[in-house]
Amino acid sequence: MTFDPRLPLRGQKALVTGASSGIGAAIASAFGAAGAAVGVNYRSHPEEAGRIVEAIRGAGGEAMALKADVSREDEVRTMFDAFGDAFGRLDVLVANSGVQRDAAFAEMTLDQWRRVIDVNLTGQFLCAREAVRRFLAQAPDPSVSRATGKIICMSSVHEVIPWAGHVNYAASKGGVMLMMKSLAQEVAQAGIRVNGIAPGAIRTPINREAWETPEAERKLLELIPYARVGEPEDIARAAVWLASDASDYVVGTTLFVDGGMTLYPGFRENG
Ligand code: NAD
């Protein structure tokens, strides 16, 4: 099959975690529109996942909802089994699920620390491990993609920007970055491409208080040289590219999609 830029994921089977809201929902929709069959993972809101699935199907695509808590080994395995039973193979995993449990460091409970590490880091480990097992067990299909499989780890600008009051979250994303790179190094020879996306400030439920009021948004914009808050679709377009053969030589890298947030905007007035 020749690469079709209008349907860059044609024939691919993709599982997106945390896909019932925010960035994950936008990625699932964009993947459907790009020609992929999509597994829409959710943890607790079947009606939201159902809406995403119906929208993809309504646009002529293929999709199914899959319930699983990504921090639980048994549920992750069952989810990948159900995906395989429905779609036959796996070409792309987007490990996107994530949570915040913010607290000043001295007040942070072990439960807050553990929940963030369990979902953001261990959840990505469990899903990526399951994906790698499936990629290695199935025959590559060059008519669908040059790579044997692709994994996209949803990171954050906080894989490099320290974040006071969010030590658990920044630690989880720093961990995601080196997990992603080490895994990419380990499996590239098997034709598996592992990459990360580091969003800046994207308008989703996870950070509502950062953009909800004009005052909060003005403060946030001071951190964004490009002078707008990102939208989930900004990340979805990057994910489609990373999952497609258009990025076939991109291996083990983090793609920052952040409006310049990692450019030390505090130095703008200081030249
Ligand atoms: P969101 O809250 O809308 O999405 C998070 C998703 O993860 C939700 O759908 C939630 O149900 C799911 N989830 C939470 N715990 C889960 C679990 N145990 N098992 C399965 N799913 C679970 O927020 P979002 O902004 O769309 O976040 C998506 C990803 O993007 C997260 O990894 C987040 O850290 C990352 N991110 C977001 C921003 C931003 O500005 N919004 C910036 C950088 C990184």
Whether pLDDT at 1 is above 80: no
- Beta carbon of 207 within 6 Å of any ligand 1 atom: yes
Task: Considering the domain delimited by 13-259, tell me its CATH architecture.
Answer: 3-Layer(aba) Sandwich (3.40)
pTM for this predicted structure: 0.98
CA distances, 4 to each of 62, 102, 180 (Å): 18, 43, 28
Q: What confidence score (pLDDT) does residue 2 get?
A: 66
The mean pLDDT value for 166-190 works out to 98
pLDDT in tens, 43-97: 999 999 999 999 999 999 999 999 999 999 999 999 999 999 999 999 999 999 9
Q: Which helix (H) or strand (E) holds 219?
A: helix 214-221
Catalytic-labelled residue, pool 42, 169, 226, 249? 169
Q: Is 20 in the pocket of ligand 1 (CB under 6 A)?
A: yes
Q: Which of 21, 40, 118, 262 to mutate to test the pocket of ligand 1 (most atoms within 8 A of CB)?
A: 21
Residue 256 three-state SS? strand
Q: Which ligand 1 atom sits closest to the C-alpha of 230?
A: 40
pLDDT digits (tens, 9 = 90+) for 120-154: 999 999 999 999 999 999 998 999 999 999 999 99
- Name the percent of the chain lying above pLDDT 90: 95
Angle between helix axes 22-33 and 46-58 (nearest 10 degrees) is: 20
Instruction: Kindly state the tokens that stand for 255.
Output: 């793609």
169 carries an active-site annotation: yes
Give me the pLDDT at residue 271, please. Answer: 64
Kindly report the average pLDDT of the chain as a whole number.
Answer: 97
Which whole number is the average pLDDT over 213-230? Answer: 96
pLDDT score at 4: 86
Q: What pLDDT is recorded for position 269?
A: 86
